[in-house]
Amino acid sequence: MQENDSLEIDFDGVKFKNPFWVGSGPTSGTADKIIQALKAGWGGVVIKTVGDSIVRKGVRPMYAAMRDQNKDLVVFENIELITEDNLETWDRYIRTVYHEIPDAPIIFSIMGSADISEWAKLARWSEDRGANLIELNFGCPHGEPEKRSGAYISQHPDLVYEYTKEVVQSVGVPVIAKLSPNVTEITEIAKMQKGQVQRPYLQ
């Protein structure tokens, strides 16, 4: 690499020193983990998905192995949920991160209930705390789809459109819709957004 070469990217006006981000999950679930990731050189961090009414305590163990009749491993399942911490705790986490790294490139991942207004509320909460981008977690299979949230939304193009539109109109930062692969035709969902929602970014 030449001395002047750079991996810096610009994503809708938000600059990241490289295009490699830590995805939302256990490795971005606390202030310490976010700080460690950024100091290790990651370009950005998508925080563990935060919620309000649907925050639940996780079960233990979160992992299980399923084997066939020959005892060969066939499935390794993960039943981890979204964050176990409430918004007050995340408020402290975020303040800690920005105290340590004032220009920390943080992407907030959010998940509300079936009540569309909760998504807008979480988005505004994120923007108020310095979110560079907001990820709408429509793809989580553990996001209480039985209560019409998480992956349930991603399986209905009209709902993806409505929820994304509500959030985009509620905040001034870029919004990413995280879609589920567990659909018959994901392009139908993407095309609906691309044609009707201003500034849609699909992950």
Q: Tell me how far apart the alpha carbons of residues 55 and 81 are, in angstroms, rounded to a whole number.
A: 9
Q: Tell me how far apart the alpha carbons of residues 89 and 171 are, in angstroms, rounded to a whole number.
A: 22
Q: Tell me how far apart the alpha carbons of residues 46 and 54 are, in angstroms, rounded to a whole number.
A: 19
Residue with tokens 């971005």: 28
Is 94 tagged catalytic? no
| Nearest one of 2, 86, 95 to 48, comparing CA atoms | 86
Residues 6+ positions from 52 with CB-CB distance below 8 Å:
86, 87, 112, 113, 118, 121, 122
Q: Which residue is catalytic, options 140, 168, 176, 197? A: 140
User: What are the DSSP E strand ranges found in 21-159?
Assistant: 21-22, 44-46, 63-67, 73-78, 106-110, 133-137
- Which residues are part of the catalytic machinery? 140
